[in-house]
Structure 1
């Protein structure tokens, strides 16, 4: 293995050292174990590589079966759970579950599938028995790599393996994991010294016979060849080059740059020059690359800017009108003239109305003035031009005015009173657009709004200007709106409360009109065309409509008592008696209604009456509910209806005997109240007491009575107290009765 010749690199560079990736291990003096390293500092770098030779162990992957090794264990003879039923036995197999029913389904380490072989062991319960042993021939003074792969095949009491060479333990013992089929590697490097043979042995330290089961595979013992080489790396400093700061020159001048240094070197400029110095009068980036004899490179660059010679332009004559507040003289420079010069005045001075950057205030200036424009150079000399300014006065007619009038206005007014006119020395004239005959009297400066149709008009007063100034105009922007003509109607004017009325707007007005309805019940609406309103309270109501056109012209129309609402009657009655029984079902009705001009009764049984306070007899002996309806109508035809239910019920009837004879004949053997009608059988309770107050009988079923027995024995003749409680069939009333009954045998 060779790292090559010593080498030189430039400061800031790096170099990769190494050898082809054909060896089994690499170790640099830097501690790296990769086949190559990258360095950027001076120093000596050495590499030691190792190459493994062939395996001297025979049948280490057990592809040849049970041959080539010795063992204190025996080949599994078989038993209850398979070949390896007994401790201290082994077998070569492709799947550990094939040699013992309780072993996991593990494949060999070499192939990882059922195509390979491995040694599977049922651990011995005798300590220090050799599982596998082989003696190999070796070379003296040679490093050997010893490797073994092992895995547990039962997740209980995993094996503990110790590895021996010529009777001496090498490396640490291997404690197999509790998980099964998880291959673990034992690895150690061993030097043969003076030995020419090596006895390699694997011993299991675990002596538990339960779960002490594992597999071995890929046992190797390989000689290692070593080679070392070193290389010196020197870092050389780069050349020093400095072209100085960026520079600006005036157009027509030149500048020189020199990249020479004390050490020998070659030079390469981006302009193509190869000398150490160049001279230029052109703007641009100039870059030089300096290379040392060993190839180390440094570079520098410098920007050259060329300032154009300033040009203030030619002398000029310029006219302005003082209608503008200010102008920028820079905007009047000829094309191509640089615009960042300074301005000043002389003969006469503009008294501060001209700024150095060319802003001229015209608001209070008129006349002729001399102005100087100077363009200064940074690296070039200044340039100057002379300007003559003539400033004319702008005529001012006045401010524009907007006016909005209704064509109901009946007056004549002066146009000058409506406009904000500034009277100049010269006389102006009027312009009207569009022209309406008779409305505008420009000769006498008069305006008559009532003669103007609805629309927009412009009346202008124009003053003529001189020189570069413009005519000035003061305008009256006049908007004329028409007054609305109020008209409206409704679908009805009278009715019963609550009365719903629909109103229709029939007003004649322009589209830009808003409407406001006012009802005397306090309601307001803004409907343009129609709306519906409900009058809930009886009475007569006024209706008013206000229309506003263009927010200015207002008209209002109203109708007094336009809508009248008649009151509703209130239907109400009472009756008696409140409880009506079928044996005498007569009911008297009392009419409590108001505004009842007519009355119409329906008694709910197919009969009726028009009396104010009628009486009615329902069918006797019939229990039923009757819905009674009363309809009342006012003299204006407004009506109201009310209903009530009249309940006709059965009369309450019952009978309690005062004696009974439970003497085993069929006559009167049981005491029981006879409930005929009007009671609630679900709210019934009968209780019987003897003379000492003991309860001898109780029942909540009206069909069950007392047979004269108590506790399985017949009660003696005598007088017994009874209590009876029950509810009414149609009411919440509860009735309670008591009395005596004679027991006779």
Structure 2
């Protein structure tokens, strides 16, 4: 098989395949089933390029305007799948049959044809031209002569369109042509153009019935001489197809994407879900964390005014935008001690910018911020201050509450007049600071007077406490012992009548009498002693009486007496 034959076979196979399924299923519409918005008009478009359109609504346009729901069908007729081989004669004198004789370069006499690009090349009386090769015929006067024939495989029960272009190449009678298939003429005869060189197109429709093979022919019905000279080109035998497609148009209400109004939000506020009238849309804008649910984060958006858009897609969709104001949080501050001792008095905490609510362990008044360490827990107490007002920062602080150290000490003491005692704690090393009520800052003090002595101590946690020492006058601590003899003889030995023991005496006086009761001596300074004289005159030897009146350590008054012998 040569190359040319191989090409022919290939083309013939293609033709056979086309013949089996010439029309196929066509998609005529650019959209599938769709929706019509309530009160709106919808434009439906058919696919461009078809020769005609017929809508069930009565329109014959490619586009149709629809304003009500329903089923709409568009139909079209078209030809496809040209089954003719070499119908444009580009391959020359091949793939067709003719009852006329073929001549390469001479169309004399009548009943001769050729394939050429210029009729004048083969007959000096012929003129005209085409687009490349075409068939030029010097017609005969025999009616029904087969000018051009070709066998075609067809599909049964199918419609076909048989078409050809015709031109006149010489003056005189125009050719009268007609299509025939399987020996039967179809359509009406058609005349070649009356003007030389012009081209007309003619066609006829045919239904294959039960046929699967068709001999298609163009026959010459002109029997007159003088003229009848013509050309053929662009012979086609195409499948005539009908196709339709329907679209279901339903009516849908127009979506409402109106966003519900939103009050101003604080930048530290928790994320919220934005809302709109109709669900199913897409959210966009600063702070949107989830485009499907409308989860909005004021913190991510930041302070300012932000435009949020909600879009419901689709032909009946809607879009709406709303501004959301994000307010910058106002800072707050708590002025408080970092620590307190459990024995300290309650304090009022101070919060800025103003009044608010206080919570936490140790808070006894939530409005005034009263913190009482005795109501708190030992250790760390978390205090929270929430100022009144919109978008004000909540502040928290920690206050450590320490227990104070209870020292061991002898707090009750007794003292005699003139005695000195030491006041101190048993475990001084536990404390860092000391301050006594008498101004001393030692850990211990010596005192000689009864009374209450307060010691303020500070431990390592700066917890202060007062320790009260009570010193009382001791009873019966006074002691006076007088001699029973003295010798005022100027020998500096026992010359004075003075106490042998004189202790813890606050105040005292002494009186001395002779045996007749006369007072010889008085002194408020008992310890100075009596020299045995009365108005500077020596008293005689003898026994003398003495009386001492004294004030006790507790402030009472006592009296004691005795006798003494004066010996010179």
Decide which structure has the larger Cα Rg and report it: 2
Q: TM-score if structure 2 supplies the norm length? A: 0.38
Name the structure where helix makes up a greater proportion of residues.
Answer: 2
Q: TM-score if structure 1 supplies the norm length? A: 0.30
**Larger RCO of the pair (alpha carbons < 8 Å, separation 6+):** 2
